[in-house]
């Protein structure tokens, strides 16, 4: 382990533990966006920043900006950070790892007396998780001027309050946040770099390459509630040729799409396909041929074109199956979330930094969405560092080894320090 990693270990461990203790729930941690435990992360980060002599600003959405001034303040800043909230009874490191890494870089720069040319800014986003109100990326979308007015009318998953009310209670104005105007001058960001736990098993499955440099963030296309409509009938009395079995039709569609998916992967496409919701009618029974089944679909890829082609293929297959099985497919409107590109220059800097530190890495796509994607789609050059973690995320069993975190932190530190160095130096 390098000298920088060694020096940062105690800071990181105590940061994670302090926040975990504040937000501990029945299982895991709960930090609702704009709630008191997310606020604790912001206050705790502010107190650390004060000791490091950083300037503090809060934008109109409540995102926290902590700045270590550079020697040439006319230059655009290098910015790093992530979100401080969590899902209900979630893990401690989703979001918080990127907050801690960004602060740890500021602390190292301060402690080692390193003065950079550009401003280095830590950015802590509000409410990234959608599980409380159904809207993800609230803080970053508001920052980019891309949060829609209707979206703050969403209601809490359990309590009778709206997102707008919670935002107001925290001291911010939902109307300013949904005005369509960016809340900061995004052209003053030379690069936004987010460190995040991987949330998948790939890095953790490797014994040596446990840091990821992200190649892009997958976009997605969703159908929230579709139906297959057939005909309900007695399971014993109706022979195969007379049936209109909705479940069999859906089963065939999924089996066909699974085979297409496999061959598309073999052809080199980036694609994931999930049918996570399937329900027969409330009156369904084992002795009744199902006349109706509802389902939801999610397809993701780094390429929106791949998603669109796969979606079109699925509609064609559904039509064919409908004819053959004498049922009808009813698809609802698609919900689309654009893929986000990693900036080639930022990615090259991250890879060069990892090589300089002697930290082996994997180049990999991000399957989950992130605040970084929102900024990238608003024109900010973006890059991401993944660190290995265990048991996925969005659950209380989520885990991360401090050694993996520190390797990712060092890649971030080196990237920030060498930001204006030529690649071959
Ligand atoms: Zn996250």
Q: How many domains does the chain have?
A: 2
> 251: Cβ–Cβ under 8 A, 6 or more apart, which residues?
none
Among the candidates 294, 309, 337, a domain finishes at 337
Residues 266 and 299 in one domain: yes
| Reported confidence tier of residue 243, pLDDT bands at 50, 70, 90 | very high
**149 and 85 fall within a common domain:** yes
**Residue 205 shares a structural domain with residue 262:** no
Q: How far is the CA of 141 from the centre of ligand 1 (A)?
A: 15
- State in Å: Cα 421 to ligand 1 middle: 30
Comparing 16-25, 53-62, 147-156, 161-170, which segment has the lowest mean pLDDT?
Answer: 147-156
Q: With bands split at pLDDT 50, 70 and 90, how would you rate the model's confidence at 114?
A: very high
State what percent of residues in the chain have pLDDT above 70.
99
Examine residue 424 and state whether it is found in any structural domain, yes or no: no
3-state helix vs strand vs coil in the chain, percent to 5? 40, 25, 35
* H runs (alpha helix) in 137-245: 138-144, 163-169, 174-177
Residue 367 lies in a domain: yes
Verify that 35 and 154 share a domain, yes or no. yes
Residue 132 Cα to ligand 1 middle (Å): 14
Q: How many residues does the chain have?
A: 425
Same-domain pairing of 62 and 200: yes
Angle between the N-to-C axes of helices 36-51 and 3-23, in degrees from 0 to 180, rounded to the nearest 10? 150
> Does one domain contain both 232 and 362?
no
> Residue 199 Cα, ligand 1 centroid: separation in angstroms?
9
- What span, in angstroms and rounded, lies between the C-alpha atoms of 200 and 251? 27
Residue 422 counted as domain residue: no
CA of 226 to the centre of ligand 1 (A): 29
CA of 371 to the centre of ligand 1 (A): 8
pLDDT digits (tens, 9 = 90+) for 155-169: 998 889 999 999 999
CA–CA distance, 238 with 251 (Å, rounded to integer)? 19
- What is the 300 CA–ligand 1 centroid distance (Å)? 17
The answer to the question of residue 425 being in a domain is no
Angle at 186 between CA 122 and CA 66, to 5 degrees: 20
Task: Say yes or no: 75 and 212 in one domain.
Answer: yes
Is residue 248 in some structural domain?
Answer: yes
Ligand 1 centroid to residue 276 C-alpha, Å: 21
pLDDT in tens, 378-410: 999 999 999 999 999 999 999 999 999 999 999
308 & 351 share domain = no
Is residue 387 situated within a structural domain?
A: yes
Query: Measured in angstroms, how far is the CA atom of residue 51 from the centroid of ligand 1?
Result: 27
On whether the CB atoms of residues 144 and 126 are closer than 8 A, the answer is: no
Query: What pLDDT, on the 0 to 100 scale, is given for residue 424?
Result: 52
Of the candidates 390, 395, 373, 400, which has an alpha carbon nearest to the alpha carbon of residue 131?
Answer: 395
Indicate if the pLDDT at residue 216 is higher than 80.
yes
pLDDT, residue 61, reads: 97
Whether 380 and 400 share a structural domain: yes
* Over residues 36-48, mean pLDDT: 98
Domain CATH code at residue 81: 3.40.630.10
Residue 200 CA to ligand 1 center (angstroms) comes to 12
C-alpha span between 368 and 374 (Å, rounded): 12
* Residue 131 confidence (pLDDT): 84
Do 170 and 280 lie in one domain? The reply is: no
Instruction: Quickly list H helices, 64-182.
Output: 96-111, 138-144, 163-169, 174-177
End residue of a domain, out of 273, 306, 337 = 337
The answer on 113 and 10 residing in a single domain is yes
The last residue of a domain, from among 311, 337, 363: 337
* pLDDT (tens digit per residue) in 316-371: 999 999 999 999 999 998 888 889 999 999 999 999 999 999 999 999 999 888 99
Q: 286: CA distance to ligand 1 center in Å?
A: 41
Distance of CA 196 from the midpoint of ligand 1 (Å)? 7
Report the distance separating Cα 137 and Cα 338, nearest Å: 13
pLDDT band at 423 (very low <50, low <70, confident <90, very high): low
CA of 198 to the centre of ligand 1 (A): 9
Q: For residue 77, give its domain range.
A: 3-218+339-417
Asked if 319 and 261 touch (Cβ cutoff 8 Å), the reply is: no
Res. 1: pLDDT tops 80: no
């Amino acid at each position: 382990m390098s000298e920088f990693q060694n020096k940062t270990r105690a800071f990181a461990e105590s940061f994670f533990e302090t926040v975990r203790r504040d937000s501990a729930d029945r299982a895991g941690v709960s930090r609702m966006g704009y709630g008191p435990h997310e606020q604790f992360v912001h206050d705790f980060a502010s107190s650390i920043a004060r000791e490091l002599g950083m300037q503090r600003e809060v934008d109109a959405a409540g995102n926290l900006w902590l700045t270590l001034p550079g020697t040439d303040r006319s230059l655009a800043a290098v910015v790093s950070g992530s979100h401080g909230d969590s899902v209900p009874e979630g893990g401690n490191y989703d979001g918080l790892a990127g907050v801690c890494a960004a602060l740890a870089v500021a602390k190292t720069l301060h402690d080692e007396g390193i003065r950079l040319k550009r401003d280095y800014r830590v950015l802590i986003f509000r409410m990234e998780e959608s599980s409380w109100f159904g809207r993800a990326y609230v803080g970053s979308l508001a920052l980019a001027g891309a949060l829609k007015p209707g979206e703050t009318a969403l209601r809490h998953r359990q309590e009778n309050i709206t997102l707008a009310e919670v935002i107001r209670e925290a001291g911010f104005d939902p109307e300013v946040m949904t005005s369509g105007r960016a809340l900061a001058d995004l052209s003053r960001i030379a690069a936004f770099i987010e460190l995040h736990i991987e949330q998948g098993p790939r890095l953790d499955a490797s014994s040596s390459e446990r840091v990821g440099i992200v190649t892009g963030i997958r976009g997605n296309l969703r159908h929230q509630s579709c139906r297959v409509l057939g005909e309900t009938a007695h399971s014993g009395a109706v022979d195969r040729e007379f049936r209109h079995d909705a479940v069999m039709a859906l089963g065939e569609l999924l089996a066909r799409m699974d085979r297409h998916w496999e061959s598309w992967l073999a052809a080199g496409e980036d694609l994931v396909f999930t049918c996570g919701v399937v329900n027969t009618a409330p009156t369904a029974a084992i002795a009744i041929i199902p006349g109706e089944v509802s389902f939801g679909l999610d397809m993701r890829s780094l390429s929106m074109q791949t998603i669109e082609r796969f979606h079109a293929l699925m509609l064609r297959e559904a039509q064919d199956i409908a004819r053959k099985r004498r049922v009808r497919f009813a698809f609802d409107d698609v919900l689309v979330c654009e893929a986000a590109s990693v900036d080639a220059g930022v990615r090259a800097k991250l890879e060069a930094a990892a090589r300089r530190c002697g930290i082996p890495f994997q180049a990999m796509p991000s399957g989950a969405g992130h605040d970084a994607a929102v900024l990238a789609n608003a024109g900010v050059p973006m890059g991401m560092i993944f660190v290995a973690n265990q048991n996925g995320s969005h659950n209380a069993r989520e885990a991360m080894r401090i050694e993996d975190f520190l390797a990712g932190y060092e890649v971030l530190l080196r990237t920030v320090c060498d930001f204006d160095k030529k690649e071959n130096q």
